[in-house]
Amino acid sequence: MAAKEPNQELTIDDLKTEMKLTDEQLNTAIQEPDLPELAACFDNTDDYLEKLELSPGQKTDVSEVKAKTRLNRTQAGMKLALEYWQNKNQLQATFQALLLVILSLLKGDVAVQVCKYLSDKYSTSCPPSRERVLLNHKLSSYRDYLQSRYRTQVSTSATQWPPVPTKKCFKLAMIQKEEIQRGRIDDEFVRLSITGKIDDILLQKTPVNLTNIFSEIGNRRNFVLIEGAPGSGKSTLALHICQEWAEGKLFQEFDIAILVKLRDPLVREAITISDLLPCTHKAMANETETAIMSLYGKGVLWVLDGWDELPSDLPRDSIINKLIRPDMSRESPLHESAVIVTSRPSSSAKLHPRVSSRVEVLGFTPHELEQYFKECLKGDSQAVQTLLERIRENPVVEGSCYLPLNASIVVNCFLSDNHSLPTSNHGIFISVIQSSLKRYLQDRLGKTTPVGDITSPDSLPSEIRTQTVQMCQLAYHGIEANKATFTDGDLAALRITKEISNVGLLQTVPSIISDGHLVYYCFLHLSIQELLAAIHISLMSPKQQISVFQKLFGNPRFSAVFQFYAGITKLSTSRPILSLLPRFLCPVPATVFDLVRKVVKSEKEKKYGEPKPLLLSLINCLYEAEDSSLCVFVANLLNHNLHLDNTTMNPIDCLSVGYFASACSNTSNGFTLSLISCSIGDQGCKFLARGLSKCSQSEISLNLSNNDFQEEGIHHIAEIIENTSSISKLVLSFNAIGNSGLSTLCEALSTNTSLKSLDFSECSLSLNDHGAIPRLLSTNTTLEDLTLSRNVIGNTELKNICEALSTITSLKSLNLTNCSLTISDDNGAALYQLLNTNNSLEHLNLSNNTVTSCRHIAAELAVNKTLRTLYLDFCQLTDQSIEELSTGLINKIERLDIDGNDSITEDGMKTLARHLTTHCSELTRLWIPRHLRSCIETVFRDANKERKRNGLPEIV
């Protein structure tokens, strides 16, 4: 539609032209409704986004293609009409005419929802109404250009190397920052799909459709961070978003969707919006920039792919910094824009406070992996099973195949190398490099020469030796400068020829921004660059190698390069036996030990509970190096305590940690392994069990609290117990193991002779005459500490447990906090008998249960000779309860907790204090209800004076 003069009124003919409607079509409109009824459409708060898809059978009987065409035309007309909403003299003519058009094209509720949707989008406009119309017209040509460009841009084909899955299947999880989950996550989706690549383990993750990643934000700015592990498909997803927008299938609320590859060198220099825009002509970029700035970015979706590939030396005045500023105020030139950013989790921490929501790209579940292999192997079931068996034989490969890129590499190795597979994590990517070199020799040079060992360039054929060495040099230069892309100037500065791009590992990429007038170079994948850089470092002298890593320490990609380096060199660089001695006794030259010390020191300085990804990376390196002596060296630096709490762990991480603990268990020192809230899941338990399978001799304390594993994970934990004799303490709290998992574990523990401490807190147990715990207690002769807190035990099961404990001499601590117990004169006889007959129990915790009478407890306490601590917090005790309890406090009790019992008054405290002046000679710690803390300075002050005169210790 031609642009109108500023004062020219918008007519029905204009709408007809814009929407390409004839008079005959308009005359078929249904009967005109009253304006108040039309206005009511805009108050409808039903969910309209889903209905905008307008698929067949969804409130309309037209075909999907025709429905989408009608919707697009309706949007165009509604946009123009609502620009005049505030113009009262235009309200009736334009709005009435447009509603007639909508209601003639669409049926019933769909029309209502479309009105609501378009009203929300276009009713508020910063520029004057007429200006907005003109600006939208200016954007239309650029919108057409982008749509045409995205439709013709093709993702990597499955026939190319490295291949990708032919089916686009993006499984996403929304990470909720508001809803803290301090326990397990029960969602079925989480059990099947969450692979755990994000640091915020205590935050709830819920499945989310790509179409809804903006709708769940609410009133916050539309700024979405999409995170995923290397090879999870983030870049493919970014292109997919823009292609779906171009096809009218996704995010149609945005006028334009602009894909910006942050690796593009021109991005580093971009100062204005026009510098970022992919355009055929500069004039179009300038005109589009004017429109975007005038609209404050409204209607624009920026898709910024590869935050982790952005140079660290980005200029302060870069337009990227304006798009991702934390203070996107109303005065900011782009505050109405929506932004999607993709990144590796290891590089995106600084974005977390700025984004309105975070989304995780998830990998393959075991079922999806099998389906993908069936697709690649063309339905050959026998070949699929053979491949899966080969994968299961190697835990490293199995643990990395959840990533689509790794899975595609593995299946192609299987097809091309006589069903052989790589055997290590770095071997997966070495196979990519070897395959590319092999293709280059065959397709370009017509040679069938064996490729040789790429980690030793001297063994390579002369035809590819120089190119390989130069690629390694370029990769290292990029890591050192934190660059993922290179220009002709970078190649010239390093005296590297452009011909290396012919090998296939280095791509020549036309800059989107300059529309092909500038090219840059990048490796097929960041992991390829990191592996080649590691090879380059491994070829240096030992002294240079350590010096390089000392310099790279703190570099965002240090960990990845160091892990590949460990796999290549086995960390054998310059490690004389003298390095094991303290430095002050025998100073030695810089070695890998110095680098290890630096890593451990930096992670030990972190606050308690703070994630330690660098330390985890070091543990992975030790697994790649396969040197138990180096593991012992690190264990000594850690004082035989490895705490990785709140550090996200994937299956390979779990395998490496298990291997590390096994290597350290062969020493005389005990070892503590704490993996609280690491989101290891059932798969993680499987690989942890494999790593721990060689534990021996030393005692290991293993804390797996809050790790989202369930019955399947418990089967693998049972394997650890059955295959090792080292686990002395096991904490499984806050995992939904359930009654079946409990039975499995107790059966494994029945013959265990090393376990001393077992924690089942909040494990979704509902026990009442279940029998698993009593059977365990009757067969296990070493258990000293049992915690069953926050499960439904029931009085019947309590009776069975107490009966089993009556003759046991090993158990010293029993924790039954919040187990739905009721202890009264009529209930609890078994507990009373336990206190009377058990000769080993020293600690009893009954907190958060209902204790209506303490008469029998006091009677048995009076004869008990072993109990040292008694917890009765939040048990609904009264002054009467305190009076009854006092009569039994004549034994060896050292600590008594009665906090949280709000019914106790100061009179109750006086009763207790009078009794304590002459009794309970061992009592030194007393916790009373908070509302009575003033009694410490009054009632118990006088009691302590009397105790002192009687030769008793002071109570604090």
Q: Does residue 316 register a pLDDT over 80?
A: no
Q: 672 forms bridges with which residues in the sheet?
A: 641, 701
pLDDT(874) > 70 = yes
Q: What is the pLDDT of residue 369?
A: 86
Residue 346's φ and ψ, nearest 5 degrees, are: -65, -15
Residues 707 and 531: their CA atoms lie apart, in Å, by 31
Distance CA 783, CA 793 (A): 19
In terms of pLDDT, which residue wins out, 852 or 695?
Answer: 852
Tokens, residue 56: 């067949």
Q: Residue for token digits 């005296």? A: 495
Place of tokens 């123009």: 80
Note the pLDDT of residue 2.
39
Quote the Cα angle for 151-152-157, to 5°: 110
Rounded to whole angstroms, the Cα distance separating 368 from 538 reads 37
3 state DSSP class of 366 = helix
pLDDT of residue 531: 93
**CA triplet 763, 765, 766: central angle to 5 degrees?**
160
pLDDT tens column, 628-644:
888 888 888 898 889 99
> Distance (Å, rounded) from C-alpha 842 to C-alpha 895?
11
**What six digits make up the tokens of 572?**
């054998």
| pLDDT band, very low/low/confident/very high, at 533 (cuts 50, 70, 90) | very high
Instruction: State residue 475's pLDDT score.
Output: 94
For residue 532, is pLDDT > 90? yes
Where residue 718 falls (left for φ over 0; alpha for ψ -120 to 50; beta otherwise) is alpha
The pTM of the full predicted model, rounded to 2 decimals, is 0.67
pLDDT attached to residue 213: 84
Residue 71: predicted pLDDT: 53
Query: Which segment, 58-67, 171-180, 892-901, is predicted with the most confidence on average?
Result: 892-901
Q: What mean pLDDT is predicted for residues 753-769?
A: 82
Which stretch of 603-607, 878-882, 950-954 has the lowest confidence by average pLDDT? 950-954
pLDDT digits (tens, 9 = 90+) for 405-422: 888 888 888 887 777 788
**Among 630, 629, 626, CA closest to 655:** 626
Confidence class for position 884, pLDDT limits 50, 70, 90: confident
Answer yes or no: are the C-beta atoms of 101 and 76 closer than 8 Å.
no
Is the per-residue pLDDT at 29 higher than 90?
Answer: no
pLDDT at 509 > cutoff 70? yes
* Euclidean distance between CA atoms 196 and 681, whole angstroms: 8
The radius of gyration of the chain's CA atoms, rounded to the nearest angstrom, is: 34
**Closest alpha carbon to 618 in 575, 582, 657:** 657
pLDDT > 70 in the chain, percent:
75
| Cα end-to-end span (Å), the chain | 85
> Using an 8 Å Cβ cutoff, are 463 and 447 in contact?
yes
Q: For residue 140, which amino acid is it?
A: S
What pLDDT was estimated at residue 703?
A: 92
Cβ atoms within 10 Å of 644's Cβ, excluding its own = 22
Q: What is the pLDDT of residues 676-686, one digit of tens each?
A: 988 888 888 98
Q: What is the dihedral of CA 160, 161, 162, 167, to 10 degrees?
A: 10
Q: How confident is the model at residue 6 (pLDDT cuts 50, 70, 90)?
A: very low
Q: Using one digit for the tens of pLDDT, what is the confidence trace for 560-579? A: 899 899 888 888 754 444 44
Confidence of residue 22 (pLDDT cuts 50, 70, 90): low
Helical packing angle, 462-480 and 526-538, nearest 10°: 100
Q: Average pLDDT over the chain, rounded to whole?
A: 75
Between 739 and 180, the more confident residue is 739
Q: What is the rounded distance in angstroms from the CA atom of residue 243 to the CA atom of residue 616?
A: 38
Q: What integer pLDDT is reported at residue 43 of this predicted model?
A: 34
Q: What is the pLDDT of residues 71-127, one digit of tens each?
A: 554 554 454 444 433 333 333 444 444 554 454 444 444 444 444 444 444 444 444
Query: Can you give the pLDDT at residue 697?
Result: 63
String of DSSP letters for 157-220: PTTSSS---SS----EEEEEEEEE--S----HHHHHH----SS-TTEEEEEE-GGGTTTTSTTS
Which helix H or strand E contains 643, and what residues bound it? strand 641-643
In angstroms, the Cα distances linking 815 to 109, 793, 797, 855, 871 are 58, 12, 14, 21, 9
Q: Which of 187-201, 216-230, 498-512 has the lowest mean pLDDT?
A: 187-201
Euclidean distance between CA atoms 781 and 786, whole angstroms = 13
How far is 365 from 403, CA to CA, in rounded Å? 9
Q: Are strands 850-851 and 843-845 parallel, antiparallel or unpaired?
A: unpaired
Interval 230-257 mean pLDDT: 87
- Mean pLDDT is highest, among 379-393, 688-702, 917-931, for 379-393
pLDDT (tens digit, 9 = 90+) per residue, 764-812? Answer: 888 776 778 888 888 777 888 988 888 888 778 888 888 888 777 788 8
Q: For residues 932-949, b (16+ Cβ closer than 10 Å) or e, as one string?
A: beebbeebbeebbeebee
Residue 18: CB atoms within 10 A of its CB come to 16
Higher pLDDT, 39 or 62: 62
> Would the pLDDT of 186 be above 90?
no
* SS3 (DSSP) at 806: coil
**β-strand partners of 301:** 257, 338
